[in-house]
């Protein structure tokens, strides 16, 4: 590879002439799928290791100076089980509704991260839109609008974290749960804003819309 040249996986596509059936596009989509699988495995492993280390540092419940109140243990366990149930329901809904499959197979994944971020900004109205880009940007907007179901999964994870903190009833777990809830709440707000922007984009540039460009 020549000095300063971008690797194939990072090279941008021309959004105006993008063809999802192009062999190069399909090959890049497969590459990104494999990368996402390995990333998910890494996140799970790191999360498990991090939880184990945090548990060692904070100490088991029987080593605490005072036993957690009975209400905390009962409520924490109930929230933990409720969150797990909600998480399972959300995953089943995502699969049955086709949201998971559409996100996994979306041709938009063929684009490098920088170009996908630019397209999201176009959908949100922060960058101008060219007429030839509209077909692809509609696809991007439909995907962003369909991600609302992920909010349910995020909320379920928040319930699980709060339940875990109550079950452990230690300052370290309370701090961790508070940070997690704040971060995930910010993520939910961001998802809602992007979804509303995607709906607005589809109303203005949909198949039956005006197809006006900024």
What domain range includes position 134? 8-205
DSSP 109: G
* pLDDT at residue 199, as a whole number: 92
| Structural domain contains residue 107 | yes
CA distance 120 to 129: 11
List pLDDT tens digits, range 145-165.
888 888 888 899 899 999 988
Q: Taking Cα atoms as reference points, which of 51, 81, 80 lies closest to residue 172? A: 51
What's the pTM value of the predicted model, to 2 decimals? 0.68
The answer to whether residue 102 is domain-embedded is yes
Asked if residue 63 is part of any domain, the answer here is yes
pLDDT digits (tens, 9 = 90+) for 151-200: 888 899 899 999 988 988 888 889 989 999 999 999 899 889 999 999 99
Domain assignment present for residue 3? The answer is no
Whether residue 186 lies inside any domain: the answer is yes
How many domains is the chain partitioned into structurally? 1
Two tokens, residue 142: 């439909």
Sorting pLDDT into bands at 50, 70 and 90, what band is 208?
very low
Residue 13 vs residue 45, higher pLDDT: 45
pLDDT above 50 for 65? no
Which of 33-37, 45-49, 91-95 tops mean pLDDT?
Answer: 91-95
Please tell me the distance from the alpha carbon of residue 54 to that of residue 47, in angstroms, as a whole number.
10
Question: Taking all residues of the chain, what is their mean pLDDT, rounded to a whole number?
Answer: 76
Query: Which among 43-52, 124-133, 177-186, 201-210 has the top mean pLDDT?
Result: 177-186
Helix axes 134-145, 113-123, angle to 10 degrees: 90
The answer to whether residue 25 is domain-embedded is yes
Asked, for residue 51, whether it belongs to a domain, the answer is: yes
Residue-level pLDDT at 40 = 62
Closest C-alpha among 106, 182, 172 to residue 143: 106
In sequence order, the 6+-apart residues with CB closer than 8 A to the CB of 144 are: 120, 123, 194, 195, 197, 198
Quote the pLDDT of residue 22.
63
Please, which residues have CB within 8 angstroms of residue 201's CB and are 6 or more apart in sequence?
Answer: 123, 124, 125, 137, 138, 141
Q: Assess if residue 2 is contained within a domain.
A: no
Among 4, 20, 183, smallest CA distance to 106 is for 20
Could you tell me the pLDDT band of residue 133, with boundaries at 50, 70 and 90? confident
Structure tokens given for 143: 């995907």
């Amino acid at each position: 590879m020549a000095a300063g040249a971008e690797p194939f996986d990072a090279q941008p596509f021309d959004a105006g002439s993008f063809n999802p059936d192009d062999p190069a596009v399909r090959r890049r989509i497969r590459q990104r799928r494999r990368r996402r699988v390995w990333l998910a495995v890494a996140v799970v492993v790191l999360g498990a290791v991090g939880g184990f280390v945090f548990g060692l540092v904070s100490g088991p419940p029987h080593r605490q100076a005072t036993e957690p109140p009975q209400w905390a243990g009962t409520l924490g366990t109930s929230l933990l089980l409720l969150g797990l149930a909600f998480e399972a329901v959300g995953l089943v809904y995502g699969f049955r509704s086709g949201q998971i499959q559409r996100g996994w197979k979306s041709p938009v994944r063929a684009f490098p991260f920088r170009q996908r971020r630019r397209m999201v900004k176009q959908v949100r109205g922060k960058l101008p839109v060219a007429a030839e880009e509209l077909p692809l940007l509609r696809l991007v907007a439909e995907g962003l609008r369909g991600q609302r179901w992920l909010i349910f999964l995020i909320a379920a994870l928040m319930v699980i974290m709060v339940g875990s903190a109550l079950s452990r009833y230690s300052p370290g777990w309370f701090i961790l749960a508070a940070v997690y809830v704040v971060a995930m709440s910010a993520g939910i707000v961001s998802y809602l804003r992007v979804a509303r922007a995607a709906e607005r984009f589809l109303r203005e540039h949909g198949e039956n819309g005006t197809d006006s460009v900024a």
